[in-house]
Each structure stands twice: as structure tokens, then as C-alpha cells.
Chains A and B, each alone.
Chain A
Amino acid sequence: MNFLKNKIHGLGLGLRFSHFNDILKSEHQCPWFEVITEDFLEHGDHHQKLLKLRQDYPISLHSVGLNLGGVDDIDLDYLKKIKSIYLKYQPDLVSDHLCWSSHQGKYHYDLLPIPRTKEGLSIVSERIDFIQNYLERPLVVENITSYIEYKEEDYSEIEFIQEISKKTGCFFLLDITNVLINFSNRGKNPDEFFGSFPMEKVKQIHLAGGVNKGNTIIDTHSEEVQDNDILELKKIKEKGYNIPAIIERDSNLPLFSLLEKERQEIEQKISI
């Protein structure tokens, strides 16, 4: 099977199952898709659809279960599956989150904040190294939304990211919305964070829409992307970083045609 050789570029969308048929049948301008690894761990008709999609579009592979900040043994069966999915569909990159998501064999199905201690840094760096060696490629690591702060930590979030960059040589997926939500929830200005982020190592960007629950914005991926997030992406472009981005939408999912319309509108807003 011949896959499209083009690399991921411009503003794409996160692939969701209920959109599959519309994406394959309709004419649209979306240039690429981010595929959730966990959706393809099991056999089924959806693999045929992804093979078909892959002939016309570049993809990236996004995981939620590598448990980079966890202490359980790295799940080699899971890692083996990721590698086989990677080899089968040839995505441009493989990413996961700077978080822990399972502990003592129990899965949280959530992205939990890593205690940013010296020990935490050492654990995360070793695991990223191991995974990169196993996959034989650099991992792309995403910053997460965090609703708590641990009492005793040695690093700020940006310091932790910079240290991981130095220790592992991994790349990053900058989730603009996660940064803005974290800083808004703490009543702080995110400019210094964005200014210090290792942009030369950012391979992909995420945009999403959350819900404001009074004092706290929750990163629900259920709403349209906010103007502030779009503006931040535009600023990054204006600095000369032409990094592929996607809109993530997981719940309150509109028809594909409506999401594609939102994507096109954002594309226009960020054009320089």
C-alpha cells in the first residue's frame, strides 16, 4: 500500500471515529490528522479505514498510556503494539504526555501531574530514554493541564521541561490551551512560560476548548477554541516557527463538516 509521503503541515484535526466516513467520503481541506494510538490497539474495521485515510493524508500518532512519570514497569506489550502501529502506518511522529496515568496496575484514564522533584526528573528521563531506544526514534512529549500543585517540588514546570529536554533529547508537543488554562487557573501571566519554552524542539502544537466552572477552567476538549489560544498560535508563527498544529475535540463532538469549518476559520485567523 502506498502512503502519502507529505509531512504533517499546517492546521489539522484530531481523528475521531464518528468522523471517519465523512473524512473518507467528503471533499475537505484538512491537510493532516492526529491519530490516537489507543484507538488502534484492537483489531477491527477501523484499521482498514485508517489505511485508506493514510493513502491521502499524513498523520501523527498520539498516545495517552506510556505513563512517563509512573513507577510501574514499562508495559512492553503496550510498547510493542505502539511500535507495530508505527511501522504499519508510518506516522511523522509519536507523542505522549508529560504525566503519569497508571499506578500499581490500575489505570486512571487521565493525565496526572508529575511531582517535579529531582527523583521525578530522574524517573521520567530514564523512562523517556528507554522508550526512545525501544521505538528507535525520538519521542515527542506534551505539556499537560494540572489542577493541583504538590507541596514539595524542586522545579517549576518550565524548568522541568528544560531539564528533560537536556537529559533525553526528546522533542515537544506544545499544548497552547493547556498552558493558558494552567496560568489562568493560577491567576498568572503565561508570557514567560511561552518565552522560555524550547521552541526549536517543538514538533507539534495542540489547540482545544475547555469549560469554565467558576474559578477553574477544565480542559474538556468539548468547546470551540478560544481567541486567546488562536492568538498565541499566531504569535508563534510570527516568530518564524511554522509548526504543524491540530484542533483536539473529544466530547460534544460536532459533525465533521462543522469542525472542518472551525478549522478553516482558525487557519484564516493565523495566516500571516
Chain B
Amino acid sequence: MSKKSQYEILLDQISTEIFSLNTKDKHSIEKIIDSKYVDNFNIYQNNLFYFINDKFQSQLIGSFKHMGKDNFRYFIRKFILDRGISSIIVNEVLLSFTHYIKKSFDIHEDKMLESLINIDLLWNGHGEASTWVIEGSIIYWKSLVEDIELNEVEVDFDQEEKIQRLFIDDQLCMKKISTRKKRDRIEA
């Protein structure tokens, strides 16, 4: 392995510090950055975090509102720290994040989240043109997205429905196309 150049070492240090999202020891940065600007370094950490957070929030709006801001941000942060960002295409990273969240979040405790993620992805045109979700979850998703308080949402966790994304008169819609008894794991 060839020896790293000074330039490469510098980029290693800066990149690692940014992906840590929080510089605990300023001394390491002070060795490479002019002391007048050390306090500015968190701008780059914030840029990374909020870029991802804002992009994903806009694409997963139902899931975001269901989880709540703090939980959602917790998972964004954890995802960046655990996985880093491995594609230049944001939507590829978004899909990776949804897989991560499905694995990390206790889906058994929160049976609705997986369906909400699938609906968010479908609505925003990611992946296939249809998806299986828990029956009734689309009504709940709509209430979340439109900030409508529903007294009661009829959800049947033992049934799944297949919903499709389509345009009717130039308007984006989602339509139920079939139902079945719930399987152990919902297919995306």
C-alpha cells in the first residue's frame, strides 16, 4: 500500500470529523485549521445532517409525522454515523435509510411504520408503481400528511391491501387494487 500524502491525510481528518457530526475534541481540528475558524467547523457537520434530514423528511412525510421529529432525527443521525453516505444519488441513500429504519425500528411494536414508509415511497415515485400495506393505513397516512385529526381510523392488522400510484386527469392518486390476509412480512 502506498504511503498517504499530506493532502490525503488532511482530507481523511476533515471527512472523519464531519461524519462524526459532533467534534468532541477541538484540539485535533486546531492542528489543521486556523484557530480563528475552528468554531465554524460545525457548519459542515450541520450542513450534512440537515441536508439529509430535510431531503428525507420531505420524501417520508407520513413516516416522519408518525415517528415525531425527535425520533426521526435520532434515526437520521444514527444512520449517518453507522453507514455514512455511500451514493451520490440522494434517492439511493433514501432507500437505504428506509431499509435501515425498518431493521432498526421495532416494527413489531409499531406495526404501522413499515406501511407508512411504503406509502411514502410509493407516493413520491420511488421503486415500484404498487405496494402492499396494512389495510386502512392509507387513511391514516392521509390524515398525517394533511394534518387531519381523525377520531378513529379503522385499521385491520390482519389484512393487507395492494395500492397503486397513478395519475387521473393529471392528478397524482393512490388506489386500492386488491386485498389479502396479512403475511408475516410486508413486501415493499
The chain A residues found within 8 Å of chain B, CB to CB, are 38, 41-42, 44-45, 65, 70-71, 75, 78, 100, 102-110, 112, 115, 117, 119-120, 123, 147-151, 216, 218, 251
* B178 on interface, CB distance cutoff 8 Å: no
User: Across the interface, do A149 and B33 meet the contact criterion of CB distance under 8 Å?
Assistant: yes
Bound together, the chains give a CA A65 to CA B125 distance in angstroms of: 24
Please give, as numbers and ranges, the residues of chain A lying within 8 Å of B11 by CB-CB distance.
70-71, 100, 103, 115
Known: A110-B51, A149-B34, A150-B32. A216 touches B43 (CB 8 A): yes
User: Across the interface, do A78 and B7 meet the contact criterion of CB distance under 8 Å?
Assistant: no
User: Across the interface, do B85 and A119 meet the contact criterion of CB distance under 8 Å?
Assistant: no
User: Across the interface, do B10 and A150 meet the contact criterion of CB distance under 8 Å?
Assistant: yes
Q: Could you write out 23 A-B pairs with CB less than 8 Å apart?
A: A38-B89, A41-B89, A65-B88, A71-B5, A78-B88, A103-B14, A104-B15, A107-B85, A107-B86, A108-B85, A110-B48, A112-B14, A147-B37, A148-B33, A148-B37, A148-B40, A148-B41, A148-B44, A150-B33, A151-B31, A151-B32, A216-B40, A251-B54
* B47 on interface, CB distance cutoff 8 Å: yes
0/1 string, B1-29, CB within 8 A of A gives 1: 00001111011101100110000000000
Q: Chain B binding site: helix, strand, loop or mixed by DSSP?
A: helix
Bound together, the chains give a CA A120 to CA B9 distance in angstroms of: 12
Bound together, the chains give a CA A123 to CA B6 distance in angstroms of: 12
The chain B residues found within 8 Å of chain A, CB to CB, are 5-8, 10-12, 14-15, 18-19, 31-34, 36-38, 40-41, 43-44, 47-48, 51-52, 54, 84-91, 93, 125
Please give, as numbers and ranges, the residues of chain A lying within 8 Å of B41 by CB-CB distance.
147-148
User: Across the interface, do A117 and B37 meet the contact criterion of CB distance under 8 Å?
Assistant: no
Chain A nearest CB from B171 CB (Å) reads: 12
User: Across the interface, do B88 and A107 meet the contact criterion of CB distance under 8 Å?
Assistant: yes
Picked from A38, A216, A218, the residue with its CB within 8 Å of the CB of B88 is A38
Bound together, the chains give a CA A231 to CA B87 distance in angstroms of: 39
Please give, as numbers and ranges, the residues of chain A lying within 8 Å of B88 by CB-CB distance.
38, 41, 65, 75, 78, 102, 107
Please give, as numbers and ranges, the residues of chain B lying within 8 Å of A105 by CB-CB distance.
84, 86
Bound together, the chains give a CA A147 to CA B44 distance in angstroms of: 8
Chain A nearest CB from B100 CB (Å) reads: 16
| CB closest chain-B residue, reference A185 | B40
Please give, as numbers and ranges, the residues of chain B lying within 8 Å of A117 by CB-CB distance.
6-7
Bound together, the chains give a CA A150 to CA B47 distance in angstroms of: 19
User: Across the interface, do B7 and A109 meet the contact criterion of CB distance under 8 Å?
Assistant: no
Bound together, the chains give a CA A44 to CA B126 distance in angstroms of: 10
Please give, as numbers and ranges, the residues of chain A lying within 8 Å of B19 by CB-CB distance.
106
Given A103-B11, A123-B7, 8 extra CB contacts under 8 A: A38-B90, A70-B11, A119-B6, A147-B37, A148-B33, A149-B34, A149-B37, A251-B54
Please give, as numbers and ranges, the residues of chain B lying within 8 Å of A147 by CB-CB distance.
37, 40-41, 43-44
Please give, as numbers and ranges, the residues of chain B lying within 8 Å of A149 by CB-CB distance.
33-34, 36-37
| CB closest chain-B residue, reference A100 | B11
User: Across the interface, do B44 and A150 meet the contact criterion of CB distance under 8 Å?
Assistant: no
Bound together, the chains give a CA A75 to CA B15 distance in angstroms of: 18
Bound together, the chains give a CA A99 to CA B88 distance in angstroms of: 15
Known: A147-B40, A151-B33, A216-B40. A109 touches B90 (CB 8 A): yes
Please give, as numbers and ranges, the residues of chain B lying within 8 Å of A78 by CB-CB distance.
88
Bound together, the chains give a CA A268 to CA B106 distance in angstroms of: 57
User: Across the interface, do B85 and A71 meet the contact criterion of CB distance under 8 Å?
Assistant: no
Please give, as numbers and ranges, the residues of chain B lying within 8 Å of A120 by CB-CB distance.
7
Bound together, the chains give a CA A85 to CA B166 distance in angstroms of: 27
| CB closest chain-A residue, reference B29 | A148
Chain B nearest CB from A9 CB (Å) reads: 31
